Structure 1
């Protein structure tokens, strides 16, 4: 099977039309159309339904996406299998992640990986929910997921046909952020009890619902439930809304410096609000590049403790790296 035909197929699937794929790849539309017809003849199935000027994959097309991506990744990194020196590691690494983890420790780890393997291109794919990421893993759109843990919150009891491996990376802590000059808060650096939060409605972002659920549950336990002041689609807008006095919010600890520059009143909470996060992937399906990244990540967690990793003395322990999950409900093994 011609690898270029598979690449054309994936481009059409990703862009939703032959015209868009041709423009992205810099080739003529008839070239891609002919390649798709040839691939369909080889496989004996139709890969797309033609709808207006666009296309959508048939069931056979959906089934080809995952194997096709794995084939492209494997062949693109074939030279690396001969020479595994760091400067020769090449390829593309597709990581799907929810917005709340795309900050702090995870970004630092990506930067360190890039320093060691500068020829690897990392593509981050933003997803709205953890289950969406698992579907991308199943279909081959991403090799690695960076999600909240435990994995059971994403799997939701559903059996999966892939063996899922989990590499815990650490945790994020969320601080309360109120408008400048908000009265009734303890001095900077001191924690504010959740039950004693100022009577200010919240600015919330439903994106990354696992975190929003944790915050809502913690507030409900102390009787602090109120309609939100604003519901935003863009996480980056939270601080501006709070700075204008529209409401308060909860921010990742890695964002505190930027929040302080805007004059926001930021305090840790009692009890603390934290979420574990880590990498989820199918170890049986990893490309050479993805395997190098997981090995690097495991070493990075061990060698670079700090924000986002285990903090001694706080009674929170990150499980050992390499926990594997499979079957209904993602039971650990």
Structure 2
């Protein structure tokens, strides 16, 4: 078994079959099929099974995916060390992330990273907040870096707190305008709410347990990205991370702080050991983005703005900066 065979195996996995994998590798289909057969003969196991006109992973193939990805990463890392880290000229960052983060911080992180390193691709696996699933992806090698809203304590796993995000109440356009700002948590009792399974349920449960307040769940969604469209259509109110709340505001929602204010921690998790340069760069930029957001908000609160007003002004500034970048010719 050699590196080329491993790369061909992973290409078939990632592209879902021989035809697309061969095209991506600039190989003839018979040549790629021969490489896979040679790898199977060398290992003495069946890696793929033919179902209809396609291929699916056999149990041995499923077991090989994680170690194979780690081998490729180790080779990439070794090359970068040997070449003195001449630059990030290609490669891929494999991420696993809690669903509650994908609509807020992650979009900014990926956008910033891709603008700086356009030759590097990002592969994202999203989970609904269960840290065990993300840890399993890290351990298997299917992902090199994960982000979650809960701390992780596992053997062989590094967990780093990288920041905290505020959580605010978002109200549908033109709805319940009599609510004050901030909203005392007691006024959430009976309020029609949309929740997601990433963190919305958890926060409502925390409010109920701490304050004996029971918001009324009227819509329960599995994907965090569905919250804002439902909110904009008037389906109910929602507790949103500040950055996602800014998106809701651009679609007509009104925002309120909550008293006492809830917050959400953000953690990065990796396997113990060195990261590839591309993944290390993504992690560093994600930390920089979190810190830049908080500095921008703090600068405004230090000048007398309330937290919500400061966040809105900071968001408008960032949106304008992104528009300028998008309009700048290459």
Same fold per superposition (TM over 0.5): yes
Q: Distance in 2 between matches of 1:234 and 1:108?
A: 19
Measured after TM superposition, the shift of residue 199 of structure 1 is 3.8
Q: Which residue of 1 aligns with 2:156?
A: 163
Q: Distance in 1 between matches of 2:58 and 2:296?
A: 42
Q: Distance in 2 between matches of 1:133 and 1:90?
A: 25
Q: Distance in 2 between matches of 1:68 and 1:279?
A: 23
Measured after TM superposition, the shift of residue 282 of structure 1 is 0.7
Q: TM-score normalised to the size of structure 1? A: 0.75
Q: Which residue of 2 aligns with 1:217?
A: 206
Q: Which residue of 1 aligns with 2:139?
A: 138
Query: What secondary structure, in the 3-state scheme, does the structure 1 residue paired with 2:93 have?
Result: strand
Q: TM-score normalised to the size of structure 2? A: 0.75
Matched, 1:250 2:239: yes
State whether residues 76 and 276 of structure 2, in contact with CA within 8 Å, keep that contact through their aligned partners in structure 1. Answer: no
Matched, 1:73 2:73: yes
Higher relative contact order (CA 8 A, sep 6+): 1
Give per-residue Cα distances to partners, 1:245-273, cap 9 Å, x unaligned: 22111111013333233332211112222
State whether residues 74 and 288 of structure 1, in contact with CA within 8 Å, keep that contact through their aligned partners in structure 2. Answer: no
Ranges in structure 1 where 5+ consecutive residues have no aligned partner: 153-159, 314-333
Give per-residue Cα distances to partners, 1:170-208, cap 9 Å, x unaligned: 11222111222414301xxx31122112743212222x2
Query: What secondary structure, in the 3-state scheme, does the structure 2 residue paired with 1:284 have?
Result: coil
Measured after TM superposition, the shift of residue 226 of structure 1 is 5.4
Q: Which residue of 1 aligns with 2:326?
A: none
Higher helix share: 2
Give per-residue Cα distances to partners, 1:24-75, cap 9 Å, x unaligned: 5554433232111100121222223444444443443233212211222333
Measured after TM superposition, the shift of residue 169 of structure 1 is 1.1
Q: Distance in 1 between matches of 2:271 and 2:10?
A: 21
Q: Which residue of 2 aligns with 1:91?
A: 91
Q: Distance in 2 between matches of 1:151 and 1:62?
A: 25
Ranges in structure 2 where 5+ consecutive residues have no aligned partner: 303-330
User: Structure 1 10/88 Cα, relative in aligned 2: closer, same or farther at 3 Å?
Assistant: closer
- RMSD value, Cα: 3.5
Q: Distance in 1 between matches of 2:226 and 2:290?
A: 34
User: Structure 1 102/243 Cα, relative in aligned 2: closer, same or farther at 3 Å?
Assistant: closer
Measured after TM superposition, the shift of residue 20 of structure 1 is 5.0
Q: Which residue of 1 aligns with 2:306?
A: none
User: Structure 1 246/105 Cα, relative in aligned 2: closer, same or farther at 3 Å?
Assistant: closer
State whether residues 77 and 289 of structure 1, in contact with CA within 8 Å, keep that contact through their aligned partners in structure 2. Answer: no
Query: What secondary structure, in the 3-state scheme, does the structure 1 residue paired with 2:192 have?
Result: coil
User: Structure 1 225/183 Cα, relative in aligned 2: closer, same or farther at 3 Å?
Assistant: same
Matched, 1:204 2:192: no
Q: Distance in 2 between matches of 1:109 and 1:84?
A: 26
Matched, 1:29 2:29: yes
After alignment, is 75-84 or 127-136 more displaced?
A: 75-84
Q: Distance in 1 between matches of 2:139 and 2:122?
A: 19
Q: Which residue of 2 aligns with 1:306?
A: 294
Q: Distance in 2 between matches of 1:229 and 1:75?
A: 51
Measured after TM superposition, the shift of residue 307 of structure 1 is 6.9
Q: Which residue of 2 aligns with 1:177?
A: 170
Measured after TM superposition, the shift of residue 165 of structure 1 is 0.5
Q: Distance in 2 between matches of 1:47 and 1:77?
A: 26
Query: What secondary structure, in the 3-state scheme, does the structure 1 residue paired with 2:149 have?
Result: strand
Q: Distance in 1 between matches of 2:82 and 2:116?
A: 18
Matched, 1:10 2:4: no
Q: Distance in 1 between matches of 2:24 and 2:264?
A: 39
State whether residues 163 and 291 of structure 2, in contact with CA within 8 Å, keep that contact through their aligned partners in structure 1. Answer: no
Measured after TM superposition, the shift of residue 241 of structure 1 is 2.5
